[in-house]
Structure 1
């Protein structure tokens, strides 16, 4: 029996929401990756287990999971039947940088009111004409999330204490972000950062919990998703997002997102409410 997948994705006309993503996976497992937006996740069926900042987490019993931007995480089903999830990707206008640390320390929130409000927001976002309702519900959700995170703020630290080679790792991350689509050779990066290539890779991996090449690929996939949501065809998105060709994009896109760019794009261009069924 082939693994089952259903995916639906769209960008609603609501400020603060980068993407809405609904998926049902039976066997897909996400590799370590990062996003440049906040990931607000609810699971309707099954459960997801994931690693965030080197700690194993999960989504049991109707929790709401808030995964911060730029922090590596993976994900896989915690049940044999797979999982069905709904995700909102929120930009930094909803939660700013100071909340990253508390979200790392406590990403899974047991809050029935918040869980219900997130579900209601998904319903509003799926219906054209309900944008004002969606904006109102998003405002209440943001307020409740900030209430949870403010209580942990003093104890939160995105990476915890003094980290060796933090400056080297951050400098490399800024360089990778600056040269995201054109790319950069490791030797050139080492010269610019004034560090040996091996030390550069070890420092970055030690600080951020993800190898530099994994970071670049996941950031490029985020860019590809945005371009596909804008309606660009996959063949154009590949080069625009920094991939060698469409097959290169497809290989990494399917590994991280769980579906191909073509199927993902069809959920946008045909009907935002109709899932794309994979085989």
Structure 2
């Protein structure tokens, strides 16, 4: 329904699978953000338009979309009535950083067999099927994804190196999580003017440092919520001021507050 969001998310006991995320969105639009994981999604209703590395793409019901870690992207509905999607967040080691560049160039795949396998895996996870079945289905999916990326058309562009100044600041922000670091301290440590540092980061990473940091904290908070921590505790552990601070940013990112986020399948 337009204007409303319905989210179901949980962490299954399947190695390499960080999170299962099912959502129905009305007019919600994802702000630009990154993940430290591979994002594997299928769209069940509607269609999604998204920018990945500043290039526009579309996720349709017949397609499989694989978004690589560390690369900025957003998302919004193509149609007025919104969209429904199912997502698997995969450990980055499961597919391999060496294929990030290929995934940036080819995030969408018209592969009915692959889509069917992903659909069956979601069904297995949602009905709490046998762990061995889920692990087996995931292994087949990963193998097919790797094959498509390796054999895709065009040169296999290697993953972009972490840019000099911007990449160093990103490493510094990641190392200090969930704590903050002031701009003056970061500039002093990196021997750069604060304004130049912000501009370089925004240009290379695709968003300003503070927005990147908020996104990383949201990822941490999602993990804590899925592990059973309450909203207030998850907020404190992930570096937010309080529960309302986390709720505001989580709602902006995925359309729902913490209390409605970590809900597994019935």
Determine if the alignment matches structure 1 residue 230 to structure 2 residue 231: no
Q: 1:248 aligns with which of 231, 238, 245?
A: 245
- Give the equivalent residue in structure 2 for 1:277: none
TM-score computed with the length of structure 1 as normaliser: 0.91
**Contact 2:2–2:27 (Cα < 8 Å) also in 1:** no
The runs of 5 or more residues in structure 1 that have no matched partner are: 275-279
- Give the equivalent residue in structure 1 for 2:14: 14
Per-residue CA distance 1:188-209 (angstroms, 9 max, x = gap): 0001111111111111111111
Query: Shift of the alpha carbon at 1:2?
Result: 6.5
Per-residue CA distance 1:43-90 (angstroms, 9 max, x = gap): 000001111000011112510000011111100101111100000000
**Contact 1:159–1:207 (Cα < 8 Å) also in 2:** no
Query: Shift of the alpha carbon at 1:182?
Result: 1.3
Instruction: Measure, in 2, the Cα distance between the counterparts of 1:180 and 1:255.
Output: 21
Provide the secondary structure at the position in 2 that maps to 1:156. Answer: coil
Query: Shift of the alpha carbon at 1:180?
Result: 1.7
Determine if the alignment matches structure 1 residue 141 to structure 2 residue 133: no
- Give the equivalent residue in structure 1 for 2:73: 73
TM-score computed with the length of structure 2 as normaliser: 0.96
The runs of 5 or more residues in structure 2 that have no matched partner are: none
- Give the equivalent residue in structure 2 for 1:273: 265
Provide the secondary structure at the position in 2 that maps to 1:134. Answer: helix
- Give the equivalent residue in structure 1 for 2:193: 196
Provide the secondary structure at the position in 2 that maps to 1:20. Answer: strand
Instruction: Measure, in 1, the Cα distance between the counterparts of 2:156 and 2:145.
Output: 17
Query: Shift of the alpha carbon at 1:129?
Result: 3.9
Provide the secondary structure at the position in 2 that maps to 1:93. Answer: helix
Say what the alpha-carbon RMSD is for the aligned residues.
1.6
**Contact 2:2–2:82 (Cα < 8 Å) also in 1:** no
Query: Shift of the alpha carbon at 1:255?
Result: 0.6
Instruction: Measure, in 2, the Cα distance between the counterparts of 1:172 and 1:252.
Output: 22
Provide the secondary structure at the position in 1 that maps to 2:142. Answer: helix
- Give the equivalent residue in structure 2 for 1:176: 173
